[in-house]
Amino acid sequence: MRRGLTFVPPVLIAVLLAIAAVPLVGGAIAFASITADLPAPQDLAKDPLALATHVYDRTGKDLLYTFAEQQREPVTIDEVPQTMIDATVAAENKTFWTDPGVDIGGIVRAAFADLTGRTSGQGGASTITQQLVKQRIVGDEYSLTRKIREAILAIEVTRTYSKRQILQLYFNQIYYGDQAYGIRAAAQTYFGVTDLHKLTVAQCALLAGLPQAPSGLDPSKPENVARAKERRAYVLSQMEDMGSITAQQEALAEAEPIKVNGPQIATITAPHFVFQVRDQLTRILGGDEGAVMRGGYKVITTLDMNKQKAAEDQVKTWVGKLKDHNVWNAALVSIDPKTGEVLSYVGSVDYYDRTDPRVQGQYDAAGIGLRQPGSAFKVFNYLTALEKGATEATVVVDAKTDFTGKAPATGPLNPATCGWCPDNADGRFDGPITMRQAILESRNVPAVKFLQEYSGIADTIKTAQAMGITTPMDPSTVGLSLTLGTQVVKLVDMTSAFGVIDNGGVRVDPTYILKVEDPTGKVVWEHKDYAQKRVLDPGVAFVMNDILRDYTNPNTDFEFGSWTNIGRPAALKTGTTDDLKDVYSVGYTPQVVTGVWMGNSNNEPMSGRDFLAAMGPGQLWRDYMKQILTGVPVENWTPPSDVVRESVVVAPGAYGGYGSGMLPSKLSPFATPEWFVKGTEPRTVDDWYVPGCPKPDGTTTVGMRIQEVGPALWKPYTDRWIAEAQKGLHSYGRFAWNLVGEGACPSPSPTPTPTPSGSAHPSGSPGASPSGPGSSSTPIPTIQISLPPGVTWPPGLTPTPRPTPKP
């Protein structure tokens, strides 16, 4: 900060004497008090201009949006044509090239007007230099003191800088209306011109006249066109008077119609994504929001325009298709799981729909909206169970259970008798079921059992948060319903979290920005050497991958596999809330993970018994993934070194899941290969066989063998289910072992050869689905069941497809 003046030029003395000559002023203002804290004229160039920050897609070619307090693109004086310079001097300060920076007569007139309340009608005659000083240093407070300070500084600026330097500062600073600051922004705003040398004489005159009254002369507004034309004519006449143009040029320019762009309407591409970019950029810049608006940064984002267009189109298409089900909004996020780069991002079906409460288009349902994920959240529970030693072949009994233990062992189980007895979406209870099948069918009771016995609420929350869920969850207040997806989450968090499974258990935080450059082109931040944190055992991630792949395979999911198949290895999990206010689908290939939410922003429920997550967001996910992966090489997941493959007693196929999960014996009616994390593979051979048939030791099986490990409170409810199953209930056309009677017992066959531990996948293709109906993989040897002549298995023994609503 400059402290006073060390030299007072004669012209400045003349200015002050002129002011002192005005009555009541002469002794009222002390010269020292006015000049004591004046900034130095060098501050004019040091004080940075407010520059716009431009946000681009990942190629750096497509502009998404510009953040700016002032729309400004700096120029050098050499980039400004002489015609524009002449027009500006003619309009604002005809004596510019020779004056000391001030118009003494103008200052006296302004002082007189301030002190007497009267005006001479000739105005204050601010020079170009004074206008520059006012905008850059002094401010626009209307007072005599400010006017004097402005004049003093204008004189010193003229002594410090050349006239061309002053003009360059002026052309970059001055406001031309319609949010355009500086001559380049003005030329682009009004005429769509970036090369200033392409401006016509008439256009130069029009622009030069605007700073006098930017709003009142703005020619993009129809009501201002007449005034703008008058002002342009005045500037042209002054240019002709100065000799800058000829009379003929003046006439031709005055006859040129005023054709300008309409009022600038801020256009924005991928709006919700852009605002996430703004928030991340603010964090990168140390939390300085002002720096985003004034810093003039160039931001290269992660957005893939082809994927973004596909996302927007598919969201609109599927919301349109599902309006009969009262679906009015959707969101979609795609992320590269290996780098964390957000490739596409749709926060609502229509950003510009501000009137429909079901849409609320400007609200970002992907990154701000907190919605229940339904059964999609079960994945965190099962991953935690796998980390704690459970396997995809671990069996629990899907039986109506009071998890408070209050309901009686006999009698009805209903809201009046139950403390908390969660139902399955289809109202059925399927009995012994493996983890794989429980996930595939999204059974609620098995999920709660795994949470209670294996995972634990606190550890499941830790798993979810380590994988990327940011919403707070308190283990002391969250109950067993946690696994059913009752806690709200963000879609972008769910998508990123599933990316951890996709990426072999390694988390990379999502990023919207690849690179940030300052106005000089210097890179101030770049997405490289980013943190990669292992949050899941690689074997656990691979096992979950293998399970979730069932959702997209028609051979392993008769219900929805055909709806979600994309023609290449892919994994998926859906979720539907009980009240049908939210439906989710989150799935991935090795290259990309995509999450989809559907619903209504005002929480109005969707409708239709036949409306399910796989039908809505599942099919949207399918069509989007097929579109963006067209032409992309097919990839698969490679089994890590800590997994092995074993054949276990589990019924094969999309409606299997029954069995003990143990190693098969020569009496086992079937066996299915499963993946295990090393050390968790089964060691016990199962001697279970068809109830009612003789065993090798001469004993007879009398009922189902159920290998369920769990708390004592489960047992009475499991026993109840067994008793009901032995009466012919709970078969659902699936397996009816209790119906097998005497004379229908198969003959033992030779003991099958078990699959060697750690062997390659039978198909030779890493990560391929287990063998089952329609599978192309080599089948594991199993017992071939033969019946006595003329005897057939009872109905229901063989798995048959049946519709099962899946949340």
**pLDDT per residue over 298-338, tens digit each?**
999 999 999 999 999 999 999 999 999 999 999 999 999 99
For residue 370, pLDDT beyond 70: yes
Task: Give the pLDDT confidence score for residue 364 in this predicted structure.
Answer: 97
Q: Could you tell me how many residues make up the chain?
A: 807
Summarize pLDDT for 455-483 with one digit per residue, the tens. 999 999 999 999 999 999 999 999 999 99
Summarize pLDDT for 257-305 with one digit per residue, the tens. 999 987 766 689 999 999 999 999 999 999 988 899 999 999 999 999 9
Confidence class for position 790, pLDDT limits 50, 70, 90: very low
- For residues 113 and 795, which has the higher predicted lDDT (pLDDT)? 113
CB 310 within 8 A of CB 270: no
Confidence class for position 707, pLDDT limits 50, 70, 90: low
**Pairing of β 593-599 and β 582-588:** antiparallel
For residue 703, pLDDT beyond 60: no
Pairwise CA distance, residues 634 & 417, whole Å: 53
Pairwise CA distance, residues 710 & 311, whole Å: 44
Summarize pLDDT for 332-366 with one digit per residue, the tens. 999 999 999 999 999 999 999 989 999 999 999 99
For residue 786, pLDDT beyond 50: no
Nearest residue to 715 (alpha-carbon basis) of 426, 407, 470: 407
Task: Give the pLDDT confidence score for residue 745 in this predicted structure.
Answer: 52
Pairwise CA distance, residues 341 & 335, whole Å: 6
For residue 81, pLDDT beyond 50: yes
Highest mean pLDDT among 120-129, 577-586, 620-629: 620-629
**Pairing of β 593-599 and β 329-335:** antiparallel
- Helices of type H across 408-511: 435-440, 444-450, 457-467, 491-502
Instruction: Give the helix/strand (H/E) hosting 727.
Output: none
For residue 21, pLDDT beyond 50: no
The dihedral built from the CA positions of residue 690, 692, 693 and 696, taken in this order, carries a sign that is positive
CA atoms within 13 A on the CB side of 4: 6
Percent of the chain with pLDDT strictly greater than 70? 77
For residue 690, pLDDT beyond 70: no
Confidence class for position 140, pLDDT limits 50, 70, 90: low
Query: For 364, left (φ over 0), alpha (ψ -120 to 50), or beta?
Result: beta
Q: What is the dihedral of CA 404, 408, 413, 417, to 10 degrees?
A: -70
CA angle (624, 628, 633) in 5-degree steps: 130
CA atoms within 13 A on the CB side of 739: 16
Task: Give the pLDDT confidence score for residue 139 in this predicted structure.
Answer: 60
For residue 803, pLDDT beyond 90: no
| Average confidence score pLDDT of the chain | 83
Instruction: Give the helix/strand (H/E) hosting 55.
Output: strand 53-56
Summarize pLDDT for 490-515 with one digit per residue, the tens. 999 999 999 999 999 999 999 999 99
CA atoms within 13 A on the CB side of 383: 33
Rg (CA), the chain: 38
CB 271 within 8 A of CB 347: yes
Confidence class for position 605, pLDDT limits 50, 70, 90: very high
User: What mean pLDDT do residues 113-123 have?
Assistant: 54
